Structure 1
């Protein structure tokens, strides 16, 4: 600002008035100051200005690389944060960079709050984090932690998927578990409850897995090896999430198993890639945009309102039927 003032022939205080768009400078002076600033490439440092006031107005977002649903959530976080006057800073968790390190990076950059997408942290860590900053957990509910939660009604989503498969005549319905992935425990419980409700408890089977394509590939290879030993394939599979479902589809397609004629496959998330595949994936939609809006609002309202108690937003899921589910194969 001193450089702009010297070249424009005015005081630094007057330059500050112009940049803050405050009264006290003539139109001619304003135009001259702005022209000089443009000529020398000056840009106001908004971050420094906010920090000088004790605020960064920045929300940190921790996400996991390769989780496509997290991309959908981030796409919804930006516009809502901007609407409320906040910036967004991202920090990724990877195989070599844990969630804790990703969160600490956000705090070191003076983020006022952190939004955790699909956190797998223990309750003690989340509770400790909540005492240090404002925290919102998206897609995973940990009641013991003093943070806000935003998630879909996992059980309802699974019930919709199971009703769909049972109505199509399926009985041998297998579930690929999501391991420690967000929502996995609720989805597993809902699957078992649905099998009991439809009198299919003896057919229930849960295979261990996680929320990755590799998990689906390995499940497909296991089922195909069982077929070679004379065991029947399940007629339908409810995958832990869309990525797992894509991996399963890859294994089945390579082996010549026709989906859905020989086996139906259902995912969970309805991430943006689900409808771009050669055969659209039947899946349970989580409203990423609405989840993102709730997460940002929870963070901002807590930042701007002292003493706000932890809240929970539970959003309605919706089954989206596409090309990977069909009637049970004829015997």
Structure 2
């Protein structure tokens, strides 16, 4: 007889609430993505879809606690989705540094990581962490407890997931410090960067979008977007620490035996990230929203 994959009685109501909330985030994020043709925001569309499907799968899993496939699906999606949120923060921060800092001022004192390396370096570690956590999560959740080597497989999966979480925590911890520090080092660039874009013939392709932003929103305060990135990074960092504790404790740890932890330290922590990027959408602050920045904007 198969046993439940949970060490507690999972709540259908809690899973349904977060499935609905993340579903709203997905719809809203997708709408703004298409409305503004903000192709770079595709990452958040995918992340919100993963969270939504993950909690829908958790709803099903609460009523089918012996179904391994559904359990693996909900666990993997909710573990991996925040890594895409982290990647989005990396990309936005890189775009902001290009927007704000003149070429001649992109020095070590202003920003420890050159703008052209911000996204590639941190996204590389994010992808590495994603694959390690994916492998570990699959090993943890797909191991049959009746196998002779079940405990060895579980321990190996836990170790791999733990390494992935440590990689993510180290990279994201450094990024959080760099991003928060930039709030202070960027004060010398208080002038309107949008005016500079409008007055420079090299940026003519951005004029129409920039002027439209100013007409429709009256909001050209790039610092608002920077603050949102800062808040989102701190929230993802909190969630990463939670997952680190979870993988460190193992299956019989306090975190794994109490369902409230996943909702307080994961679901409820990541949800505001989507809400913030909807309310303070990058289209209000960035003149270029494609997958790649034009050469003259770098």
TM-score of Structure 1 vs Structure 2, range by shorter chain: under 0.3
- Per the normalisation by structure 1, the TM-score is 0.22
Larger helix percent: 2
Larger relative contact order, structure 1 or 2 (CA cutoff 8 Å, min sep 6): 2
- Per the normalisation by structure 2, the TM-score is 0.24
> Which protein shows a greater Rg?
1
Larger strand percent: 1
